[in-house]
A and B are shown apart, each in its own frame.
Chain A
Amino acid sequence: MTHPSDVDLALYAGGETGRLRRWQIQRHLSRCGRCREEVASFCAAREGLRRGGGRIPQGVNWSRLAAEMKANIRLGLDAGEIVAQPQAPPLRLGWRPAVALGALTLVIVSGWWLHLPSPVSKEEVAETGVVLGAADGAIELREGAFSLTLVHPGAENVTYLVDFEGSVRARYVDSESGQVTIQNLYAE
């Protein structure tokens, strides 16, 4: 069984824990007698301090006491500075490494994105068997995971024709040669 720390129990005894932590400690206290006793002693100490806090004991010079306390605190801090390890300055990247890391991230993300399989539309899933299509810029034959596309990028005035026997045609004038080019796809 894991016990809450003394600090948690003291804070619980003073009603200074958050809701979730208070609930967790309460669950523990319902099973752990030792921690219940610890909480009870913290509560008693608080009560004793509360009762006795209004009176300063006789013969105590509070001003001198306060000065000594401050001196001790200051001495302690100075000693702490001498003993503590020098803190390393926070890590800061120059702009060159930052640019390189950014480029690397872009390459990795792009590679991952390019390898994503193309989403399949509902229409594509619904069609089975050989499908022939004519659309702007290309004619396509698809069967399952296979596809064959004849493209004519940049061609103007393309004429498409599909027939019931299972062929699709694209006709255009090649801008470089001035020749008519006719692309055909046939479903077997």
Chain B
Amino acid sequence: MRSKGLLFLLLPALAVVVSADAQTPALKAGSNFHIDLPKDSPVTVVSVDMGQSRAEARGGAMMLDLRTLLTLRNSGSQQIRGAALLVTAQEVTPGGKASVIVPSLSVPPGETFPVRIDLRLLRPLAQGNGPLVRVSLDGVLFDDLTFYGPNRLNSRRAMTQWELEARRDRRYFLSRLESEGPEGLRKELLASIARQSERPRIDVKFARSGRSTNTEPEREIKIAFVSFPDAPVEVLGGVARVAGNEARAPVIEVQNKSDRVVRHLELGWLIRDRSGREFMGGSVPSDLVLGPGEHSQIAQKAALRFSERSNSPVPVQSMTGFVASVEFADGHLWIPTRSELAHPRLQRALAPSPEEQRLTELYRKKGLAAVVEELKRLR
């Protein structure tokens, strides 16, 4: 009698748990998550691990928590150096899309490599029942820097730049190994790790609004520039509007010093706050057509806001720019050399290349021998 009474009391609790669990159904590939690769794709899907992915209703919203590990196979005939996946959830975020890119790869034909996609979506409940997430291939970069894919996100340019940086940095570390031995290489890796740990960590937010929402009065400041002698594009000057921790609407004058047509330019920004601390504030990418010797103006209307991890604002005192990359009309890219990036202000504030980050992480996890072996393997 007593046990029956106890069960009666527990039944409502069980009902709540079961119904709550019924509201958080596990996601299945195909119904909520769809992967779309073309028939002639150089990569194929080997497996999709949805892990702890869930969709649940919360109040008036649907929340999708996706924890996915894709395993892809190189089904082509060339070594893969990078892969970019486009992630769309148009029913969820009509204003945007996402991508996950894995650069600095070295995947021979027939081998597999993982790509992790961890994301969270939030949308009003009454929005429709189609697949919540679609993943498609934006591009694959091969060893000879050729590219396959629709390139809707300009991933070809980004992956080519990272691959050029990777080759530059591997050559640099290899030269240290050959000239100064393993201990010379170790010193360089430790110096890189130290710079990475000392780099200021600032949160940055982008807002498309053209008006300042800051309470401090807005002022116009001139942007200083670090010049690289062999850069094909020279920055002649620039200004931006600054109010408190917000910098917006930069206007920059540039000139093509080369004899080739430039079609894309990316400028990096360093921000100095009122305490003299300098950090990487963001970048100003620009598609443009700049013939040899021509001038042009780059103007952006958006705003960037800077804050500490504790959310307290970081007031902007001054800004310095530099040419981060140039793409020519023939598809070739220019990037700064390591000696140009060794400028003290840039070295303190800039993040290392993806390859340098990977090699220093390899050193931390597996030691110097692993890095030496990796450098020699990818020579």
Contacts and interface: CB of A to CB of B under 8 A. Distances in A.
Interface of A: 94, 96-97, 100-101, 103-104, 107-108, 111, 114-117, 126-136, 138, 141, 143, 145-153, 157, 159-168, 171, 173-174, 176-188
B376 interface: no
B97 A180 contact: no
Interface string B8-25: 011011001100100000
A87 B121 CA distance: 61
Interface residues of B, number: 71
Contacts, number: 216
A115 B58 contact: yes
A130 B208 contact: yes
A164 B206 CA distance: 7
B116 interface: yes
A165 B208 contact: no
17 contacts: A101-B9, A104-B10, A108-B16, A130-B208, A134-B204, A141-B93, A141-B95, A146-B95, A148-B98, A148-B120, A164-B302, A168-B206, A180-B102, A180-B355, A182-B100, A182-B103, A186-B153
Given A160-B204, A187-B96, 6 more contacts: A107-B16, A131-B208, A163-B282, A164-B282, A166-B208, A180-B354
B145 interface: no
Nearest to B125: A145
A143 B204 contact: no
Contacts of A166: 206, 208, 302
Contacts of B59: 115-117
Contact of B357 (A146, A153, A173): A173
The 3 closest A-B pairs by CB, nearest first: A164-B300, A143-B95, A132-B206
A97 to B, nearest CB: 6
Contact of B280 (A132, A145, A161): A161
A135 B358 contact: no
Contact of A186 (B2, B99, B122, B286): B99
A184 B114 contact: no
A16 B217 CA distance: 72
Contact of A187 (B58, B122, B208, B250): B208
Contact of B358 (A153, A179, A183): A179
Nearest to B351: A159
B337 interface: no
B104 interface: yes
A8 B331 CA distance: 101
A163 B13 CA distance: 50
A126 B213 contact: yes
A173 B355 CA distance: 10
B228 interface: no
Contacts of B357: 157, 159, 171, 173, 180
Given A111-B16, A178-B361, A186-B153, A161 B283 contact: yes
B9 A184 contact: no
A165 to B, nearest CB: 5
Residue from B97, B105, B123 having most chain A Cβ neighbours under 10 A: B97
B284 A107 contact: no
A148 B208 contact: no
A62 B156 CA distance: 118
Interface in B102-146: 102-105, 113-116, 118-124
A178 B92 contact: no
Nearest to B203: A135
Nearest to B104: A180
Nearest to A139: B98
Nearest to B5: A97
A173 B205 contact: no
Nearest to B356: A180
Contacts of A171: 351, 354, 357
Given A104-B10, A150-B119, A178-B362, A188 B96 contact: yes
Contacts of B204: 133-134, 160-162, 168
Interface in B326-379: 351, 354-355, 357-358, 361-362, 365
B362 to A, nearest CB: 6
B53 interface: no
A105 B124 CA distance: 29
Contact of A153 (B99, B118, B201): B118
B105 A179 contact: yes
Contacts of A176: 114
